[in-house]
Amino acid sequence: MSKISRRDLLQYIGAGGIGAVGGVLYGEGVQRKVELLIPQVIPPEDYSPGVATWYNTVCNQCSAGCGITVRIREGQAKKIEGNPVHPVSQGRTCARGQAGLNVLYNPDRIKTPLQNVGQTGAGHFVDISWDEALTTVGGRISRLKIEGKASSVRLLTGQVRGHLDELFAQFMGLLGSEHYQQYDFTYPGTIRAANRISFGVDQLPYYDIKNADFLLSFGADYLGTWLSPVHHSLAYGHLRQGRAGQRGKTVQIEPRMSLSGASADEWIAARPGTEGLLALGIANAIVGAGRYLGSDRDQWSNALQAYSPSVVSGKTDINEDIILRVAKEFSENKSSLAIAGGAAAAGTNAVATVVAVNALNYLAGNLNQPGGAIFNSNSAFSATSSSNQASFQEMLELIDAMESGEVEVLLVNDTNPVFSLPDNVGFRKAMEKVALVVALSSFHDETTQMADLILPTSTYLESWGDDVPDPGVGFPVASISQPVIAKLYDALPVGDIVLQMARQIGGELPVSMHWASMEEFIKDRWREEYTSRAFDGEDQDFEAFWRAALEAGVWGQPGAMDSGPSVPSSASMIAAITDPESKFAGSESDYAFVLHPYLTATFLDGRGANLPWLQEMPDPMTSVVYGSWAELNPVTADEMGIREGDILDIESPAGSIRIPALIFPAIRPGVVAIPIGQGHAEYGRYAKDRGVNPINIVAPLMDDQSGDLAWAATRVKVKATGERLHIIKTGGVSRTLGRQILGPANDHA
C-alpha cells in the first residue's frame, strides 16, 4: 500500500473523529431514561408491594345487593369479583358490577363541593369549601327548623337500604319533617303492592328459580335486569344443567325478546298489556281441566270463568292450544313458578297482572315450597324498610309541592328524577321554584345540574354502610360494605355528610346523632343488633364477631330457612282478581305502535351510562354500542320501507323523539322497543349527548292501584325522517348460514 500523504492522514483522522462523536451520541440516544425509585415514608402495616389483597364489600350498581370482593394492589383497586361467601352473588358478578371500578376512577367525578353562581340549570358552578357548603345548608335548615317550617325540608334519595336508610329517617324525624322519600325507577313497587293484596305481605318473596322445573315469566327479564340478575343467573344455570338428567324449562311472555327470552325454551309475544289476561287464561285452563284439586276450586272456577282460553286467545292474540299446552305443563311439572315484571308490571293494570300471576303460583301450590315463591320473614335486620319508596303519584305530589313553593330545601341524594321521570311532569321546572336544592352525588347529572349546591359523595367503594338484600335469599342475611381504598378527592360518604349536617343544624340532632362517622354509626348499630338478638351460632364477643363479619363482608344464617307467613287463604286472592287489561295513552288509530321501553342489562335505568366499559360493551341482544336505537319487526320495517339506521320520528301523545331504527327479528309487529339508559344531557363525557331517552315520551299514566308509573302504556306513531345514521354494532351477519357453529346438527343431546 502506498504511503499516505499528510493531508490524507488529517482527513482520515477527521473522519475518525466524526465517527467517534457519532458513536457517543448514539450511546446517549440508546440510554434508558432515568426512572425513580420512590420509597414509602411510613409503610402501612398490611402493605406488601406486588401482592394483592382482597376486601369484601357490597355492590351498589343495582338494588340486588350482591356481595363483592375488590382486588387491591399498592393501594389501588384493580378488579371487582363476586364475594364467594355471599349468598346472593356466590362469587359471581354481572357486567355492571365489574364496571364499578369505572365509577370509582371515573374521570368525571365531582371533586369538591360546588356552588351554583349563575341562574338555576345554567351550570355555572364554583368550588367552595366543605365548611362553607355545610354552613350554608345547615344554617338554612336550622333557620327553617326554628321558624317551625321544618316540613318544608324534603329529602329525596335513591333506593337506600340498611342503616343508612335508618340514618336518613332519624335525621328527618329529628328535624321534624315527614318528607323523607326514595325514588328508584327500577323499584318493583307494583309487585309489592300485588303481594300486599294477594298474600297480605308487603315484601318481595324469594323466587326459588334454582329448584324450579318450569319457569313461566311474564315480562320479567330475570337474567338481565329484574330484581337480582346475578342470583337468578346462578339459579338459571342450575335449573338447566345443575341436576343430573333433569333440565328445567323456561317460558317467556313478552312482546320484545329480552335476555331472558333469548334463553327461554319458548318465547311467546302476547299483545302488549294483556299478559295478565293470559295468566288468568292459563289459570282458567288449569282449573277447568281439573288439574287444581284444592278445596276452593269451585270459587276459583267461578272467579276465572270469564277468562276461558278461547276468549283470552282472542284478546291476547295467542293461539288457544299454546295456552292450553302451557297450562298443562305448568300444572304437571313438580315445581312450577310464575313471575311477573318488566313491561308486564308497568301498565295501567300492573298490580292486577301481578295478582293474576300470583294466582298462578297459588294454583301451582308452590308458595313457601322449594322451587316456588318463598316469603322471607325480614328476619335479618330490623332495617329494611320500603315504606319510604315514593310512587309516581307521590312524586307528582312532590312536584306540586315544589311548584307551589312549599319546598324550601330539597336534598337530593344519588337519584336522578329529572332523567328517570317523563319530561312532561315537569320535575325539572319545579326544581327552579325551590329556594335551595342540595344535591349529594358523585357525578354531574341532569338533577345536580339544577342544584344550587352540590356536595360530592364518595362512591360505595370508599364508604361505610350495610345492606340487607331485598328480595332475600330465603334465610337471614346482612352484608357490610367498607371502604376498599383511601377515599379520592375532597368528597365525603353520604352518611358522614348527614352526620355533619346534623352537627351544623344543632339542637337535639347532634345529641341523638352523636356518631363521629358513618363507620362508628354502622358498628354501633351492628353492636345493638348483635346484643338485641341472640345471633345463634355466634358465641364470641362482639369485636370478634365484627372482625369476622368485616372479613366475610356478610353475616347470615344459612339453613335457617325463614318461616314465612303460612300460605294465605285464597279468598283474598280470588277477590282481588280484576280484569287485567292495560289501557294505553293515545288511540290505536292515530298511534299505530305500542312503545316498549325496556331496561337494559348495560345501563339499567341510565345510571351506568357514564361508565366507559359499559358504553363499549355490546348490547347483549343487538350488539349495538354507543347510542340508542328503536327496534322494529322486519316485516313491519319492510312494509314501511325502513332500513337499519334510518332516523325515525317517534311521536307519542306526550312528545316526540328522533332515533335510528334497528331491524330486530324477535319483536312483535306493531311494537317499537327502545332501550332506556342513553340520552343524557349531562352525566360526564361518556354519557353526555349520546342517544335518546325514551322516558321523555312516556305518557304520565299510572297504575290505578299502586300509583306507580305505567311506563309501558304509551302508544306512538312512527315515521321515517329520511335521514340516516350509522349504528355502531359488533355483530356482522347474525345467521349461521348453515355452518355448524352451534354444534353438530345431528345429535340432540
**Window 438-467: residues binding another protein (CB under 8 A):** none
Decide whether 21 or 544 has the Cβ nearer to another protein.
21
Output phi, psi for 439, to 5 deg: -105, 125
Site for another protein in 197-226 (CB under 8 A): 223-224
CB of 730 to another protein, least distance (A): 6
435 binds another protein (CB under 8 A): no
Decide whether 29 or 722 has the Cβ nearer to another protein.
29
CA–CA separation, 669 and 372 (whole Å): 34
CB of 683 to another protein, least distance (A): 15
Decide whether 42 or 293 has the Cβ nearer to another protein.
42
CA–CA separation, 203 and 75 (whole Å): 40
CA–CA separation, 608 and 470 (whole Å): 21
Site for another protein in 476-505 (CB under 8 A): 488
Output phi, psi for 723, to 5 deg: -80, 160
For residue 480, the SS3 value is strand
Site for another protein in 2-41 (CB under 8 A): 8, 11-13, 15-28, 31-32, 34-41
Binding characters for another protein, 650-689, by CB under 8 A (x = yes): ---------------xxxxx---------------x----
91 binds another protein (CB under 8 A): yes
Q: Which of 144, 160, 209, 230 binds another protein (CB under 8 A)?
A: 230
Stretch in the footprint of another protein (CB under 8 A) among 262-270, 531-539, 691-699, 710-718: 262-270
Decide whether 80 or 576 has the Cβ nearer to another protein.
80
Site for another protein in 36-75 (CB under 8 A): 36-43, 48-51, 73-74
Sheet holding 67-73, edge to edge: 53-58, 67-73, 76-82
Q: In DSSP terms, which residues pair with 412 in a beta bridge? A: 156, 439
Q: Which of 53, 129, 241, 721 binds another protein (CB under 8 A)?
A: 241
CA–CA separation, 259 and 240 (whole Å): 16
CB of 749 to another protein, least distance (A): 4
Site for another protein in 703-732 (CB under 8 A): 726, 728, 730-732
Task: Decide: 601 and 225 in contact? Cβ < 8 Å.
Answer: yes
Residue 712's closest CA among 444, 353, 446, 455? 353
Site for another protein in 610-629 (CB under 8 A): 612-618, 620-621, 623, 625-626
Q: Which of 55, 180, 226, 236 binds another protein (CB under 8 A)?
A: 236
Measure Cα distances from 682 to 111, 182, 410, 447, 606 in Å: 16, 22, 20, 9, 12
CA–CA separation, 165 and 446 (whole Å): 24
Decide whether 103 or 354 has the Cβ nearer to another protein.
103
Angle at 713 between CA 708 and CA 718, to 5 degrees: 145
For residue 225, the SS3 value is coil
Measure Cα distances from 442 to 236, 416, 457 in Å: 34, 12, 5
Site for another protein in 264-323 (CB under 8 A): 265, 267-269
Stretch in the footprint of another protein (CB under 8 A) among 117-125, 153-161, 201-209, 738-746: 738-746
CB of 635 to another protein, least distance (A): 7
HSE-up (13 A, CA, CB side) for residue 715: 15
Decide whether 365 or 634 has the Cβ nearer to another protein.
634
Decide whether 426 or 634 has the Cβ nearer to another protein.
634
Task: Decide: 624 and 728 in contact? Cβ < 8 Å.
Answer: yes
For residue 526, the SS3 value is helix
Decide whether 12 or 508 has the Cβ nearer to another protein.
12
Residue whose entry in the numeric block shows the C-alpha cell 323523607: 180
Decide whether 234 or 351 has the Cβ nearer to another protein.
234
Query: Cell triple for residue 417?
Result: 328524577
635 binds another protein (CB under 8 A): yes
Decide whether 133 or 554 has the Cβ nearer to another protein.
554
Gyration radius (Cα) of the chain, Å: 30
Stretch in the footprint of another protein (CB under 8 A) among 173-181, 258-266, 426-434, 574-582: 258-266
Stretch in the footprint of another protein (CB under 8 A) among 276-284, 522-530, 560-568, 606-614: 606-614
Measure Cα distances from 173 to 145, 155, 415, 502 in Å: 12, 11, 21, 12
Stretch in the footprint of another protein (CB under 8 A) among 186-194, 422-430, 554-562, 741-749: 741-749
245 binds another protein (CB under 8 A): no
Task: Decide: 357 and 339 in contact? Cβ < 8 Å.
Answer: yes
